[in-house]
Chain A
Amino acid sequence: MDARRESEATPMKNRTTVERKSERELVVTRTFNGPARIVFEAWTKPELFKQWWVPKSMDMFLRSCEMDVRVGGRYRLVFGHDASNPAEFFGRYIEVTPHSRLVWTNEEGGDGGPVTTLTFEEKGGKTLLVLHELYPSKKALDAAGTGAADVMKETFEQLDELLVALGASVGR
C-alpha cells in the first residue's frame, strides 16, 4: 500500500518489484509512463533494446544484439569488452503477440534455463510490464539465485554463525 502511495506521489519514477512466486517462478513488475506499443517496440528493436538493457551502473558492454522477433525466431546477446572472452545469452521466441505478449527461452545455460513470459498491459496511457520467469525445477531457480560464486562465498562465511544460532535454538 505504501508503494502505491509512493508511486502516485512521484509519477516519474515507478517501482520495480521482484517476487519469488513459487518454487519455480520469479516475477518482476514495473509500470511505464507510455503506451504498450512503445514499450513493446523498445523490447523488440535491437537498436532501442541496446540503449537500455545494460544500465550504465553495470560494468558490462553489449557487443552485439540480434533479434529475430517472430515465433521460432532466435535472439543472441553478446557481452564483454574482450572479443576473445565473450559472454553470450541466447534462445528463441515461442510466442510473439505484438504490443501485448512475448515468450522466449533462455538456452545459454543448457536445460536449466527458464522460459520468460513478458506481458504488456496498457491502462490509461501507462503500461504495466510483468516479466515472469519459469524455471524447469526448483533447483534451477535456487542455482540461479545462489549459484554465483560470490554469493556462495558470502553465504558460507555466514554459515558458521547460522550453525551457532541453530545450535542454540535446538538446545532450548
Chain B
Amino acid sequence: MVQYLRARLDASFAALSDATRRGVLEQLGRSDASITDLAEKFHMTLTGMKKHVGVLEQSGLVTTEKLGRVRTCKLGPRRLEEETAWLERYRQLWDARFDELDKVVEELKRKEKVDGRKKRE
C-alpha cells in the first residue's frame, strides 16, 4: 500500500513540476474544459496540450471523457488536495513564522533609527 501510494505521489509531483500543467489544474478547478479550450487558453498546439493532459491523466490528477468529437477534461477526485495538502500546511507554518519575523524586523529597524539619532546627537 505504501509503495503504491509513493508511486502515485511520485507521478503527481512529476505532473505538478510543470507550470503549464499547474495552470491547467487551476483552470480545471474553475470549470471543466475541452483540450481545444485549454490549448487556446495556454497558446499551445493541440498536440502540445494533449501531451500535458496525458501526463496529468496518468498521475490521476485529471480525468478525461470523450463525448462525440470533444474530449472534456476535469479534475480527478480529490487528487490535487491530497498532494498539495502537506505543502500548503508547510507554507502556512512558514507564513505564520514570517509574520512574527516581520514584527522583529520592524522592532530592530525602529531601534536602529533611535540609535542612529543618538549617535548623531
Contact = CB atoms under 8 A, between A and B. Distances in A.
A145 B16 CA distance: 15
Q: Which 5 A-B pairs have the closest CB atoms?
A: A55-B96, A52-B100, A18-B91, A16-B95, A34-B105
Nearest to B101: A52
Given A22-B17, A51-B100, A58 B109 contact: no
Interface in A1-54: 12-14, 16-18, 20, 22-23, 26, 28, 30, 32-34, 38-39, 41-42, 48, 51-54
Contact of A42 (B5, B94, B105): B105
Given A55-B99, A161-B78, 16 more contacts: A16-B95, A18-B91, A20-B16, A32-B98, A32-B101, A34-B108, A38-B105, A51-B103, A55-B97, A56-B96, A139-B6, A145-B90, A146-B9, A159-B5, A161-B77, A162-B82
Q: How large is the interface on B (under 10, 10 to 19, 20 to 34, 35 or more residues)?
A: 35 or more
A55 B93 CA distance: 8
B42 interface: no
Contacts of A137: none
A134 to B, nearest CB: 16
Contact of B63 (A58, A139, A169): A169
Interface of A: 12-14, 16-18, 20, 22-23, 26, 28, 30, 32-34, 38-39, 41-42, 48, 51-58, 131, 138-139, 142, 145-146, 148, 151, 154-156, 158-159, 161-162, 165-166, 168-169
Interface of B: 1, 5-6, 8-10, 13, 16-17, 57, 60, 63, 76-79, 82, 85-88, 90-91, 93-106, 108-109, 112
